[in-house]
Chain A
Amino acid sequence: MTLLANFLAIAIVLNIIESAIPIIPVPGAKLGFANIVTLIILYVYSFKDSVVITILRVLLVAILSGKLLGVTFYMSLSGAVFATLAMGFFKNLNYFGFIGVSTFGSIFHAIGQIVAGIFVIGSTAVVAYLPIMLFLSIPAGVLTGLIAQRFYTIWQTWHNEIS
């Protein structure tokens, strides 16, 4: 529990740092580096825990930035839920490693945000941004996957040393 709370805090910090860096030319969209934590929890704990932590993260970031129920909140929520479900599915499939699972998560994060964007402005014009977002989500997913994999390896050796 304490560790999960720590993970949640790390995820929130990552999320806030990320929203301060405008790398992606899409309004309100993010690359999803906070998915690192979702991915780690998915492997260390369970799918259920990762869903709970992800939703809590989005809610708390929205409350902290004072944008609860705003445009970016719905986009973050939709992206995060899509990404978590996709990563849960592909992890369960047990066919791809960290990087594959994380890349799928990143791609679905982009799709989720665009879907929310369509509802927010009531137009499919945001789909024009989907190609660039999908393309950028590949390096983001690979980076996220590499970091999570590195963490998981260290985590496992650490646990083996204790027990």
Chain B
Amino acid sequence: MSANLSVKNKRDILLVTLLFIILGGIFILFRLFAFQGEAAIANVYYGNSSEPIVSIDFVNYRVIKNYDQQVPSTYDQVYPIIDETARTITLLGDYELSGTRQIVVIQYHYGNKSVQIIQEQSPNKICSREGVSTGWPLICLPNRVRVEFETTAEDFTV
């Protein structure tokens, strides 16, 4: 029994070492090389839609609202709210505090081609703690709001 165990223990150690090297390598390569291109557009999505609700165009310095967010009539605002002076976009997230859905505030910066989530409510505040991003997707899962970057410019005027 003990001999059998030790063979398995050796296999375990080998397995863990191999996995550590392989997954560690993937993780480091991913951090170094993924999402490194300069962003042309940042798309803001809500829910499981593949159509961006707001697009931030870093090339032509403008923010395009593609459609209004569908919110229950108990919320009197029309979302998303785009504030051109404060450079923020406000969406209504899915996370509820005492029955009320909470807002998610996204701030963008044309010069740095960056986006940051400056206000949101969720248990661990993960997406606002991610800080400023220039390519890495920002995902607020409890709010079902996400920001993804595109490196190639698309022509929105057509």
- How does the 8 Å CB contact mask read for A33-58 relative to B, with 1 for contact and 0 for none? 00000000000000000000000000
The answer to whether residues A128 and B136 also contact, given A27-B142, A72-B142 and a CB cut-off of 8 A, is yes
> Do most interface residues of chain A lie in helix, strand or loop, or is the interface mixed?
helix
Select the stretch in A2-10, A76-84, A90-98 that faces chain B. A90-98
- The answer to whether B48 and A120 touch across the interface, beta carbons within 8 angstroms, is yes
- Kindly state whether residue B26 has any CB partner on chain A within 8 Å: yes
Q: Which residues of B contact A138 (CB under 8 A)?
A: 16, 19-20, 23
Q: Which residues of B contact A27 (CB under 8 A)?
A: 122, 124, 126-127, 139-142
Name which residue of chain A comes closest to B140, CB basis: A27
Compute the total of residue contacts between A and B using a CB distance below 8 Å: 105
Q: Which residues of B contact A132 (CB under 8 A)?
A: 27
Query: Could you tell me the distance between the alpha carbons of A117 and B127 in the complex, rounded to whole angstroms?
Result: 15
Name which residue of chain A comes closest to B22, CB basis: A134
Select the stretch in B7-15, B69-77, B80-88 that faces chain A. B7-15
Q: Which residues of B contact A97 (CB under 8 A)?
A: 5, 8-9, 11-12
Give which listed residue, A22, A98, A107, A128, contacts B137 with CB less than 8 A. Answer: A128
- The answer to whether B146 and A95 touch across the interface, beta carbons within 8 angstroms, is no
Name which residue of chain B comes closest to A66, CB basis: B96
- The answer to whether A128 and B11 touch across the interface, beta carbons within 8 angstroms, is no
Q: Which of A112-140 contact B (CB under 8 A)?
A: 117, 119-123, 125-126, 128-129, 131-132, 134-135, 138
- Kindly state whether residue A103 has any CB partner on chain B within 8 Å: yes
Q: Which residues of A contact B23 (CB under 8 A)?
A: 131, 134-135, 138
- Kindly state whether residue A85 has any CB partner on chain B within 8 Å: no
Q: Which of B112-152 contact A (CB under 8 A)?
A: 122-124, 126-127, 129-130, 136-137, 139-142, 144, 146, 148
Q: Which residues of A contact B24 (CB under 8 A)?
A: 135
Give which listed residue, B15, B26, B139, contacts A126 with CB less than 8 A. Answer: B139
Name which residue of chain B comes closest to A75, CB basis: B141
- Kindly state whether residue A59 has any CB partner on chain B within 8 Å: no
Query: Could you tell me the distance between the alpha carbons of A126 and B129 in the complex, rounded to whole angstroms?
Result: 16
Q: Which residues of B contact A95 (CB under 8 A)?
A: 8, 11
Name which residue of chain B comes closest to A118, CB basis: B48
CB distance from A111 to the nearest CB of B (A): 12
- How does the 8 Å CB contact mask read for B91-117 relative to A, with 1 for contact and 0 for none? 000100000000000000000000000
Q: Which residues of A contact B136 (CB under 8 A)?
A: 128
Name which residue of chain A comes closest to B29, CB basis: A131
- Kindly state whether residue A71 has any CB partner on chain B within 8 Å: yes
- The answer to whether A28 and B34 touch across the interface, beta carbons within 8 angstroms, is no
- Kindly state whether residue A68 has any CB partner on chain B within 8 Å: no
- The answer to whether B19 and A131 touch across the interface, beta carbons within 8 angstroms, is no
- The answer to whether A100 and B142 touch across the interface, beta carbons within 8 angstroms, is no
- Kindly state whether residue A147 has any CB partner on chain B within 8 Å: no
Give me 11 other A-B pairs in contact (C-beta within 8 A), A99-B13, A117-B141, A138-B19 excluded. Answer: A25-B130, A99-B15, A121-B47, A122-B47, A123-B146, A125-B148, A126-B141, A131-B30, A131-B31, A134-B23, A135-B27
